Amino acid sequence: MNIPDELFYTKTHEWVRRINQKEIMVGITDFAQQQLKDIVFVELPKLGKELKMGAPCAVIESVKAAYDIYSPLSGKVTLTNKAILEKPQLVNEDPYGVGWLVQLEFSNPDEFENLLNPGQYRVACESEAAH
Amino acid sequence: MTNNYMKKTPLYNAHVKLNAKMVSFHDYEMPLQYDSIINEHHSVRKAAGLFDISHMGRVEISGDRALSFIQHIITNDVARLANNQALYTPLCNEHGGIIDDILVYRCSENRFMLVINCSNVKKDIHWLRNQSFNYQPMEIKDFTDCISLIALQGPLSTRVLKATFNRTFDSLKRYSFTDYHWNDTQIVISRTGYTGEDGFELFVHVKQVEKLWNLFLEKNVQNGLKPIGLGARDTLRLEAGLLLYGNDMDETITPLETTIGWTVKLDKGDFIGKDALVQQKAKGIERKLVGFEMIDRAIPRHSYPVLKGNEVIGKVTSGSFSPSTNKNIGLCLIQSPHATIGAEIYIQIRDNNYVARIVSIPFYCCIKT
């Protein structure tokens, strides 16, 4: 299970990369893509959409079913990854790289406290895998 | 998530050894996928795949009046079958609603084997027993827990059988079956399946099935035989336009409204549901199950609303990404006047409407036997 040290995480298996003072990049974790397996469809939010922390911000579909992806922080969508609309399998192949989902301009830096560090996220995955 | 109360098929350990992702499917823990659903799907289309379908129910019906009894409870005409032939048929209630869709195997003049859906085993057996009072003496035996069922499907199926048993079954016709003596036990090999490919289904005693499963996989590495889970079973059957009970059919839907109207033989004599079906036919069939493919980029799923303009005209019964056509496809049950090939409809997905087009089914089929 690949859990990069430099990222933040959510219990719902999104990762967060702080790219500058105002913005974050968001994707789904390696654990999530392994659980979903064959990703065949991605739906992304419109640019400028205002999202609340924990609100659905994208949809990822495997062959079997559709899954909501939740916004890790509150903020406004500034960029989405067009490449994965045409090639959803990029999310399986490189979830922390070219398979990223959206960029957000976050509105409340205090919300970072709600995110998990890599160690906490690893524990969350292990307990989920054990069930 | 699975738990201790789930039933396991005799191949459970074999699936775990193959690293299958197990899921609960009705009462059973079943393999959803071993590898990727898409890879498994292509294996069956291009080479061959092996499925554990022991969750399906198997019921034997025998008695002097077994033939008339079966004729009474199904809509298709089992009298047309010679021994060692099988047919597909719905089992209907008095209103013509589909209780189950099943395969009837004629083993001898008055002995039949029914293969029924996992989700319907209890309901069907209860129904069969209740309907059998006027046909005594009659034996209705549930063999589900002592006979396993595995399916071998794909264009290389005949080659795989030959590599496994050192003899060919090429001459076995579609919807025919034969007994075969293997490893001191009797197995039944039937040329049937649920994928739109050539293939066989094998009835094997539970004590022998793991041995046979492993033998298949060991002897057929070069033929590209792969174990296949329920995930690919669903995409394969949908592409072939084959219906799934509980999704595309239930007791509120009659065979005439679906794509299996051909199984209703009104000229064969009396059967349960006949009056209702005759009436429905005379009145005109108000809803129709049809296939569609998405034009907009979105995946249809079971129960999504179908619209024409602003009006809801029905709902999606099955939908998926289709690996063989690389399209998003589905079946929907809609008002008959809208059910014309080529017509554009909307599928409502997460509050947005996406354009789709009604197409003929199967979406993909390649049986060449």
Give percent of chain B above pLDDT 90: 96
A56: nearest CA in chain B? B350
pLDDT at B2 over 70: no
Task: Check whether the bond before B362 is cis (ω within 30° of 0).
Answer: yes
B145: alpha, beta or left? (left if phi > 0; alpha if psi -120 to 50): alpha
| Cα B45 from chain centre | 17
Per-residue confidence (pLDDT) for residue A130, from 0 to 100: 74
- Under the banding of pLDDT at 50, 70 and 90, the label for residue B369 is very low
Domains of chain B are 7-54+145-239 (3.30.1360.120), 57-142 (3.30.70.1400)
Residue B152 has pLDDT above 50, yes or no: yes
Answer yes or no: do B37 and A37 touch at CB < 8 A.
Answer: yes
Per-residue pLDDT tens over the stretch B12-55: 999 999 999 999 999 899 999 999 999 999 999 999 999 999 99
**Chain B residues within 8 Å of chain A (Cβ atoms):** 1, 21, 32-33, 36-38, 231, 234-235, 297-299, 301, 320-321, 323, 328, 350
Question: Taking the domains of chain A in order of start, what are their residue ranges?
Answer: 8-130
- Tokens at B266, concatenated: 């009104």
Burial class (CB in 10 A: 0-12, 13-18, 19+), A108: exposed
Residue B153 phi/psi, 5° resolution? Answer: -135, 145
> What tens digit of pLDDT does each residue of B255-308 get?
999 999 999 999 999 999 999 999 999 999 999 999 999 999 999 999 999 999
Q: How far is CA B230 from CA A59, B52, B194, in A?
A: 23, 9, 11
B2 alpha carbon, distance to own chain's centre? 24
Spatial distance between the Cα atoms of B185 and B123, rounded to a whole number of angstroms? 31
pLDDT of B113 > 70? The answer is: yes
In the predicted model, what is the mean pLDDT of residues A97-124?
97
Nearest by CB to residue B231, choosing from A61, A63, A66, is A63
In this predicted structure, what is the pLDDT of residue A131? Answer: 64
pTM for the structure as a whole: 0.94
Contacts of B321 in chain A (CB under 8 A): 40-41, 61, 63
**Closest in B38, B297, B298 to A63, CB measured:** B38
pLDDT at B366 exceeding the cut of 90: no
Q: Give the one of B38, B301, B323 whose C-beta lies nearest to A66's C-beta.
A: B301
Q: What is the CATH number of domain A8-130?
A: 2.40.50.100
Q: Can you give the C-alpha Rg of chain B in angstroms? A: 21
Q: Are B87 and B153 in contact (CB under 8 A)?
A: no
- Alpha-carbon span A14 to B218, nearest angstrom: 41
CB contact under 8 A, B297 and A41: yes
- The answer to whether the beta carbons of residues B240 and B46 sit under 8 Å apart is no
**What is the pLDDT averaged over residues A25-41?**
95
Dmax over CA atoms of chain B, in Å, equals 64
For residues B97 and B88, the answer to whether their CB atoms sit within 8 Å is no
> Hey, are the CB atoms on B38 and A61 less than 8 Å from each other?
no
Among partner residues A59, A63, A131, which is closest to B235 by beta-carbon distance?
Answer: A63
- For the question of an ipTM over 0.95, the answer is no
Nearest to A61 among B33, B299, B323 (CB): B299
Q: What is the mean pLDDT of chain B?
A: 96
For an interface test with B, the pick among A63, A89, A92 (most B C-beta atoms closer than 10 Å) comes out as A63
Looking only at the bridges linking them, the beta strands covering B225-228 and B48-52 are: parallel
Contact A43 B321 (CB under 8 A): no
Please tell me the distance in Å from A22's CA to the nearest CA on chain B. 30
The single residue listed with the structure tokens 């008959």 is B336
Q: Contacts of residue A63 in chain B, CB cutoff 8 Å?
A: 37-38, 231, 235, 320-321, 323
